[in-house]
Amino acid sequence: MLSFCYLVNLLRFQEFRFGAIVMDDLKNFFCWNKKCPKYGIRGGENVRVRTTYGTKNTRLLYCTHCKKTFSERRGTVFFNSSLPDETIVSIHEHVAEGNGMRKTSRLTNVHHQTVIRHTRLAGEHAEQLHDELVAFSPEDRGGSVRRKVGLRQKKKQKNCDENNPADACCGDNWDHVALDAEHKLVLDVINGKRTVKNTKQLVENTARRLNYKPPRLITTDEYPPYKQAILESFGIKRTPKRTFIRGRPRKPRYRPPLDLV
């Protein structure tokens, strides 16, 4: 939700010219051809403007390296949309304020399926934006791993059957949140049951975003699986030497980093 609101703010403060977004330079664009060596590299000098097209005077860009062309709106919520830009921005503003799909449909005078499609598209872009911004966050910032209690759905936890797949989404569910306590930056969120699997997945995702460099301080709610998950993701792996004695070899052990509190 944090990334989605940030995306809406970006859309809200964009300036429009003849229905197209004003972009004075090309530093934020990159080649979309996955086979091109310049694919995904921003700020390069390989992107140029070829021409404009459509009633919105959208610029058609091309890569000087692979000679492929692409729209300046590629990778945005405006790409291949026949709606006015102001309407698209209005849809996301209403959704970000907590309005439902049908209510947003009535307020913006568009079909509710169109609202759903644009919301899903914006959610995908928000996820990509979050991954890009978090990947370049400072490596030495302290982080904390916390969790928030979710809501009960359909059934109470005591009435759920662990062997029934239909009850997997019922009962008590948790929002497993990895949060930078100082800057309130959400590193990762996993919604689901309070299980060892979800706990390990949360810590592993957090470690990956931090390049597996441990923060100076990690706090939890003392849920036991966190200890082993943190050691496996941030700890130093020590493999015992072979003793050449019959029996199973000893399992690797994890030692916490020296600078981890």
Examine the domain organization and report whether 149 and 242 are in the same domain: yes
Phi, psi of 244 (to 5 degrees): 55, 35
- Please say whether the beta carbons of 61 and 29 come within 8 A: yes
Cα–Cα distance for residue pair 75/70, rounded to 1 Å: 10
Tokens found for residue 11: 């859309």
Q: Helix 85-96 vs helix 2-12: angle between axes, to the nearest 10 degrees? A: 150
Examine the domain organization and report whether 80 and 174 are in the same domain: no
Any domain includes 261? no
Please tell me the predicted confidence (pLDDT) of residue 137.
Answer: 43
Please tell me the predicted confidence (pLDDT) of residue 30.
Answer: 86
Examine the domain organization and report whether 129 and 155 are in the same domain: no
Any domain includes 227? yes
Examine the domain organization and report whether 7 and 123 are in the same domain: yes
Examine the domain organization and report whether 24 and 125 are in the same domain: yes
What is the value of pTM for the model shown? 0.50
Tally of structural domains, the chain: 2
Short-list 241, 238, 242, CA closest to 252: 238
Any domain includes 77? yes
Examine the domain organization and report whether 148 and 240 are in the same domain: yes
Domain encompassing residue 226? 144-255
State the 10-residue block means of pLDDT for the chain, 261 residues long: 51 42 67 86 83 84 88 85 88 89 92 90 80 53 38 55 67 78 79 85 86 81 86 81 75 75 58
Residue owning tokens 């000893």:
250
Phi, psi of 12 (to 5 degrees): -65, -35
Any domain includes 8? yes
Examine the domain organization and report whether 118 and 151 are in the same domain: no
Examine the domain organization and report whether 191 and 75 are in the same domain: no
Examine the domain organization and report whether 99 and 164 are in the same domain: no
Examine the domain organization and report whether 130 and 195 are in the same domain: no
Any domain includes 122? yes
Examine the domain organization and report whether 168 and 126 are in the same domain: no
Any domain includes 260? no
Last residue of a domain, one of 107, 135, 163: 135
Any domain includes 65? yes
Examine the domain organization and report whether 112 and 162 are in the same domain: no
Cβ atoms within 10 Å of 33's Cβ, excluding its own: 16
Please tell me the predicted confidence (pLDDT) of residue 102.
Answer: 92
Any domain includes 55? yes
Last residue of a domain, one of 115, 135, 155: 135
